[in-house]
Chain A
Amino acid sequence: MRESKVLGLSLTKLTFLLFAAAIIVYPLIWTGGFAIGAGINVGAMAVGALGFVLLIGYAHQLALGQAGFSLIGGYCSAILTVRYGWDPFSALLVALALSMTAAYFIGLPILKLRGFILAMASLAFQLILVYIALEAGAFTGGAEGIPGVPKFGVFGVTFSTDLAFFYFTWLLVILSIVLGLNIDRSRVGRSLKAIAASETAAGSVGIDITIYKVQMFVLSAGLASIAGSLMVHYLRIMTPNIFGFVFALTLITSVIIGGLASIWGGMIGAVVVVVLRENLREFEIPLWEVVIMGALTVIVLILFQRGIAGFIGDLVSRIIPPPPNLNDSATDPIVAEPFYNISSSGGTGALLKVDGAQKNFGSLQAVDNVSCEIQPNMISALIGPNGAGKTTLFNLITGHLPLNSGQIIFDGVEIDKMLPHQIASIGVGRTFQNLQLFDNMTVIENVMCGYHRLAKAGLATVSLGLPNVVAEERKIRDIAVQHLAFVGLADATEQSPSALPFGHQRLLEIARALAGEPKILLMDEPASGLNESETEQLAELILRIRELGTTVLLVEHEIRLVMGLAEHIIVMNHGSKIAEGPVAEIRADPEVIAAYLGTG
């Protein structure tokens, strides 16, 4: 991780020091009970808001109803402490476990939905919980709720002063931010951003989209639950309306104002929103509060699109510019030597075998009974007129489309029933016709995502920031630098992909695919949009890729590239294979000339 240093401290450490100092000093300056109470309130909200940042800001899953888990957490804490006399901290932990378990079973079905439908469904889930709480009077106390919730305490030690509870709450805020930052700077954080940018591309490097979405759903439910438990002990009463629609809206507003894409955003937003709300209470007419909050949200969104945290981040990087982009690893910037080597498996026999593949879109037979074999460590090409079914065949191989009938075998494994990320994870890499880069990450992070299938760190180890995770991160970064050097992009590591010229974006996609050390690389029109000299460089790159032991299958219209490079050519027209063979044969084939090559 490349970071600016101030007074010998990394920016993150400095931020944490200032943050901790602010927490310690705050109650010493504002000693009133009201101020400390507000501080506890903000802390609880900050924990809940972080869940929204991870789920909405990072994974782009618009599950707006996570406050429903605050309701579950709140009730669990209230019932266990009031009715059964439990220790509040133990109750909080049980509530946490319950909420996360519930989230797992709710998340699996609900995360199949997307965008606004997911937002509506999850809000509906929260409102249903509120109504259940209102109706299940015997259990929840109905609209009156459960009064007499005790002060918070840990293992029998009750926090007799609000000050102790304040520090405890903010300790949890710090811990949750550490957890968030650990996730942010890890394989998990990158995978979440990858899913947000392009689920197709995320799948193509082996990222299991469902697992990551559910993990974030469960984690954010846990954070919401903690927020709920803390709020209940602060308010000393639990009623259904505490965690109703208004609470959900306040949390969402906080996150948007604070900055959806920043781990600090939730906390900053919670501070701003609560401070404003408490001050606006002085207006006698409650409507003003709503109007001013609404107007403020709009203004912040217009002025700083990435929220206050984004604004502060920009400001800091302007005052303390990040260190120049140096190649800090020992790698030579123009490594052209092979750096991984696929041992050909089994030696003889096809690496990829398509047998009677059939794909229909309605009455259109996009791929009609196609059989072909791709031999290992060769460059093969798939050509044919537009609409011949080449990309469809690619998508069948990579699992992005299901077959109607037929069979696809890769490296001895039947892959035609597998999901894209499963196929990617056994060594099928691909690049896309219309580039699918992760624009929300830097160039090097894009390539680091490519290494996904070979890396190990999971959410649990990442959250704790274990030493082996740190070591693996360093290794992935070094490998990514090598791959960037291999394609000739060593100088672009810290740039945004969208700032690269088009030809370089293509190279970046290739580097990302290579980082997963694929046994076969499927390239969909890699020369499209490249000029002559770039095409020539691409040809050499493809030859060097074959030297690594990776088999290459091209779909390409740049016929000079195909004819110059391919050892085996397959021609498709109207969904069927019309010819197959070496270059000379294909070039002389009258059917291929009529359908594709033309006479020019």
Chain B
Amino acid sequence: MADLLQIDTVSSGYGRTEVLHEISMEIGEGEITAMIGANGAGKSTLLNTIIGTVTATAGQITFKDQDITQLGTQRIVQQGISLVPERRQLFGTMTVEENMLLGAYARTKEQLKGLEADLEEQYNLFPVLLERRRQLAQSLSGGEQQMLAIARARMSHPSLLLMDEPSLGLAPIMVEKILSFIQNLRDAGATILLVEQNAQAALSIADTAHVLETGRLTVSGSAGDLLHNKRIQNAYLGGEDGGTEGLESRIRQMANDYDRRRSLSE
């Protein structure tokens, strides 16, 4: 498929600290691209650089064949990129609907015409938001807040949706729900760049995936390849025997060792 976004040897950071070093990657249209990596690897910085809240210090970002590297965030949003920020960043003291309307803030007068229909579309996608449309955003549960953050981002008609840790702080059952929402969005034609700490979850729904380590892309490939990559399994998926059981059993083993030591000392 055609590449919607191209990142060409982009470096970026905060003040004098460079966080990203010469990143190059493409995002294919209609795909979920996953970006996994440890804390501080630069995943959020990458999203912030694409959306323009952090400006690249070198390299070029091309979106729909247009150079957007130096554009301001508002212009980038108008071009069709939208961010679902880490920890949702909702306007807590505004209602659900006001939050969604603010998502359409950057739209031009022309684009504003279909506003009602767009609200309708989000409510169809997330019926719980319709129920809560007059409630304050801060009164929603974590999962509902995440849905609202996605709905708000979609209100600017993005052709590329950037998602920063959508599973963060959510109950397992809610993580499943959000992941299947994201899949549904892709199946309906959306292009998504998904940044996740929860590598297992991200790789399970992604098409393409990249690993970011201390500001550099170290592994890229199809999500399936990464799932079976030994090094990735050990570093990010909790060992060979797959994520869920692996980490839990290792922790239980550790707990048992501590228990044994405790009973010996008594």
Contacts and interface: CB of A to CB of B under 8 A. Distances in A.
Interface of A: 379, 383-387, 433-434, 501-503, 525, 528-536, 539-540, 543-544, 546-547, 557, 559-561, 563-565, 595-598, 600
B67 to A, nearest CB: 32
Contacts of B168: 528-529
Given A546-B258, A560-B247, A598 B252 contact: no
Contacts of B251: 536, 539, 560-561, 564-565
A4 to B, nearest CB: 22
B75 interface: no
Would you list the 6 A-B pairs with minimal beta carbon distance, nearest first? A387-B141, A564-B251, A386-B142, A501-B40, A598-B173, A560-B248
B92 interface: no
A557 to B, nearest CB: 5
Contact of B169 (A528, A543, A544): A528
Given A535-B247, A536-B250, A539-B251, A385 B169 contact: no
B111 to A, nearest CB: 33
Interface in B221-250: 235-238, 243-244, 247-250
Interface of B: 38-40, 87, 140-144, 165, 168-174, 176, 197, 199, 235-238, 243-244, 247-252, 254-255, 258, 262
Contact of B258 (A383, A528, A530, A547): A547
Contacts of A433: 169
Contacts of A386: 141-144, 169-171, 174
A534 B38 contact: yes
B255 A565 contact: yes
Contacts of B38: 503, 531, 533-534
A552 to B, nearest CB: 12
Given A385-B174, A529-B39, A536 B247 contact: yes
B255 A560 contact: no
A188 B144 CA distance: 42
Contacts of B237: 532
For B87, B170, B172, B244, the residue with the greatest tally of chain A CB atoms inside 10 Å of its CB is: B172
For B143, B165, B255, the residue with the greatest tally of chain A CB atoms inside 10 Å of its CB is: B255
A557 B258 contact: no
Contacts of A503: 38-40
A539 B39 contact: no
B236 A532 contact: yes
Nearest to A434: B87
A418 B237 CA distance: 44
Given A547-B262, A596-B171, A531 B236 contact: yes
A523 B143 CA distance: 21
A557 B250 CA distance: 18
A501 B247 contact: no
Nearest to B87: A434
Contacts of B262: 547
6 contacts: A385-B141, A386-B144, A502-B39, A532-B247, A560-B244, A565-B251
For A385, A501, A531, A543, the residue with the greatest tally of chain B CB atoms inside 10 Å of its CB is: A531
A251 to B, nearest CB: 34
Contact of B172 (A379, A387, A557): A557
Contacts of B248: 559-561, 563-564
B39 A543 contact: no
A596 B235 contact: no
B240 to A, nearest CB: 13
B119 to A, nearest CB: 24
